[in-house]
Structure 1
Amino acid sequence: MEELHRTIRLLYTGRSQGARRFRYGLVVFDALTIAYFIATAALPMTPMMMAVNAGLGVLILLDLAARFWISDNRRRELARIYTLADLVVVASLLLGPLLAENLAFLRVLRGLRLIHAYHLLRDLRRESLFFRRHEDAVLAAVNLFVFIFVITSLVFVLAFDEQAGVAGYIDALYFTVATLTTTGFGDITMTTPGGKLLSVFIMVVGVALFVQLARAIFQPSKVKYDCPECGLNRHEPDAIHCKHCGEPLKIETEGETGM
């Protein structure tokens, strides 16, 4: 058992080529499951989809169990937002076939898998220099992406009939983006008090996320690196000394290529 524990820990945290390939495989799996839940959000449930959902639920549960087993602080691991979201998603996937109907709320719960994108970002921060250099812009884009599709799933369940299908989901996405950008075409509107409050929430949060994305794209690019002396954690990509205290820095860089 100790050998298995060591092997799994090395796969998740090691620096070998095999461990890196394993983690890249997890990144691909996470991205594909997120895409799958978005693509199937409005599709009627079939026996094949129920089988695929159950299989994905088992795989996600195994990944969660492995991370929890090798964690040095299991309480902190359990309290992470993406861990809690994945637990809810796993429950919705595994319990779905046991329910008499494919309840609409399960689709919203599966949309929470988008939150796992933040765990994917943590892995990319460790593996990709490009990501570390453009982390603010990528994170802002992910914030906006997650918000749009989680809200779209919620709008689809609240405002559209289950038989609306893909066309209804596209209308829900259209309403979400139109409201988020405060374009206000008015061809699809919420008429209930709850729907109007949801529209206000989409507008307020959406504008803030758009501003955050624009600022991240146009502001000077900096990388995250904690200065060992003063703790400043934002520096220019080519910095060799901390701007605040002058401490030498060893920021990983690809270097310059001469012509």
Structure 2
Amino acid sequence: MQQKELQKGMKEAIPIVLGYLPLGFAFGVLAIETGMSVAQATMMSVLCFTGAGQYIAIGIMQAGGAMITIIMANVLVNLRYLLFSTSTVPFLKDRVKPLAASLLSYGLTDETYAVAMNHYQDHEATASYMAGLNLTSHLGWIGSTLLGAVLGGFIPDTDRLGLGFALPAMYICLLVMMIKRRTDVFVAVFTAVVCLIIGFLIPSTMDNLSNIIIATIIGATLGVIINGQH
């Protein structure tokens, strides 16, 4: 049973890994261009595992910013994981031991969260599934970073590869996977509109993603209210 759950998690991580390949590769390239060594770039992906946070760190480093600026920017950007992890508690409680859940939560990302929550709608949460999903995704991120750091120097113009489209494309795929009712479509569209309006009123930057955080809270609340009526 545990082996099947592990394999299930690994299998469901494949789309995430495919989405991570261009993103991690691009990060590896940028890290080398910023002055990092291959080992440093790879270890950053091992220890951090936060794509947005790592890109922010690179941007601040290129601008000559201080370390405290990198830390504070990452804290703000990654506050959303507090919401993510809290929302998984009802599914993990009495099924996954707290210590195992705490250790495996290191692999919590936007993508693994979306896939896991979709899985938990029809299946019980298990530590084996979490391990397969999170660890496979993390290894994909590390491997793509290493590949970018090693091979990036041989690519004269990485912008021409169109790597920037990989992230929104992956998020669209994850959204489609989670839509099961018409109300889900309404919540998704409403949340997107709110995000765009707030982004217009308060222009977003890599260290100010308040529009995404606020829209996520509003959208999640609306989803709970609507689903509670069914």
TM norm structure 1: 0.21
Quick check: which one's helix share is greater? 2
TM norm structure 2: 0.23
**Rg larger for:** 1
- Greater relative CO, 1 or 2 (CA 8 Å, sep 6+): 2
